[in-house]
């Protein structure tokens, strides 16, 4: 089983695309990510110290996940991703299963992967990778919008996807082009944000180590020697 960093795995994905993709398609992908980075407004993002108001997510296994329930016994970790078929997400979530979930589980801290995709389409990524943490739908991107982390694909990206016979809204079941930027948020038992990392480039994502450090500090659990 690979122990490569998430950055290395995502760099490998991009390198494979450079080798195999049509240059025009590759340019659209690179340009879109570069535009999102250039236009990013960190002041609009969720940040440490923000108090999180109540929210409800839809568990792909059925039922609801609420802020109150997730933080009832301590902190919780939310990982926002795009949708079940997103190639980078299919690298990131198994990485978090290997590198992050064991420590969080030992500490009794729930990890929830969050996407706007409708539950009946979203659950496949949990099954595909046998994920032991929760995967949940954010209906209408409500929480992602509140956290200021949404983006809409540019015209070139929209045209390219439509030419392939679909749209993001059809894929997610939301009917819109809005998706969350990859984001990790640690919320304390007091429902205040203790760690937040947002990446406008979906091929740049949070490694496990800073999340574990934030949770250990919050839970006052000493790091392993």
Q: Which residues contact 182 (CB under 8 A, 6 or more apart)?
A: 80, 81, 82, 88, 92, 198, 199, 202, 204, 205, 206
Which of 7-11, 146-150, 162-166, 184-188 is least confident?
162-166
Q: Which residue has the tokens 């929830």?
A: 112
Q: If you average pLDDT over residues 15-34, what whole number do you get?
A: 94
Q: What is the mean pLDDT of the chain?
A: 93
Sheet holding 111-115, edge to edge: 64-66, 56-59, 134-137, 111-115, 76-80, 183-187, 193-198
Q: Residue 141 — φ and ψ, nearest 5°?
A: 60, 30
173: left (phi over 0), alpha (psi -120 to 50) or beta: left
Structure confidence at residue 220 as a pLDDT band (50, 70, 90):
low
Query: What pLDDT digit, counting tens, does each position of 173-194 carry?
Result: 998 989 999 999 999 999 999 9
Helix axes 89-99, 119-128, angle to 10 degrees: 60
Whether residue 164 is predicted with pLDDT greater than 90 in this model: the reply is no
Q: If you average pLDDT over residues 122-136, what whole number do you get?
A: 97
Pairing label, strands 183-187, 76-80: antiparallel
What does the alpha-carbon distance between residue 76 and residue 67 come to, in Å, rounded to a whole number?
A: 9
Q: How many angstroms separate the most distant Cα atoms in the chain?
A: 54
pTM of the model: 0.93
- In this prediction, residue 214 carries a pLDDT of 97
Domains, the chain, ordered by start: 6-219 (3.40.30.10)
Helix (H), strand (E) counts: the chain: 10, 9
Residue 196 token pair = 């937040």
Residue 220 token pair = 């006052």
Q: If you average pLDDT over residues 84-107, what whole number do you get?
A: 97
Q: Which residues contact 85 (CB under 8 A, 6 or more apart)?
A: 171
Give the count of beta carbons closer than 10 Å to the beta carbon of residue 134. 19
């Amino acid at each position: 089983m690979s122990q490569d960093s998430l950055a290395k795995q995502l760099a490998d994905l991009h390198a494979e695309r450079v080798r195999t993709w049509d240059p025009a398609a590759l340019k659209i992908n690179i340009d879109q990510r570069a535009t999102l980075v250039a236009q990013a407004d960190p002041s609009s993002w969720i940040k440490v110290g923000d108090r999180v108001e109540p929210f409800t997510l839809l568990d792909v296994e059925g039922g609801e996940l609420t802020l109150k329930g997730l933080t009832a016994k301590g902190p919780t970790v939310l990982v926002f991703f795009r949708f079940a078929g997103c190639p980078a997400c299919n690298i990131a979530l198994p990485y978090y299963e290997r590198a992050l979930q064991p420590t969080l589980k030992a500490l009794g801290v729930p990890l929830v992967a969050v996407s706007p995709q409708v539950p009946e389409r979203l659950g496949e990524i949990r099954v595909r990778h046998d994920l032991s943490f929760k995967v949940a739908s954010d209906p209408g991107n409500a929480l992602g919008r509140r956290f200021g982390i949404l983006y809409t694909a540019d015209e070139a990206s929209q045209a390219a996807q439509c030419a392939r016979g679909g749209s993001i809204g059809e894929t997610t079941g939301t009917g819109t082009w809005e998706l969350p930027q990859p984001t990790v948020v640690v919320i304390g038992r007091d429902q205040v944000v203790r760690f937040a990392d947002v990446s406008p480039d979906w091929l740049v994502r949070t490694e496990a180590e800073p999340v574990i450090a934030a949770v250990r500090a919050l839970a006052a659990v000493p790091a392993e020697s």
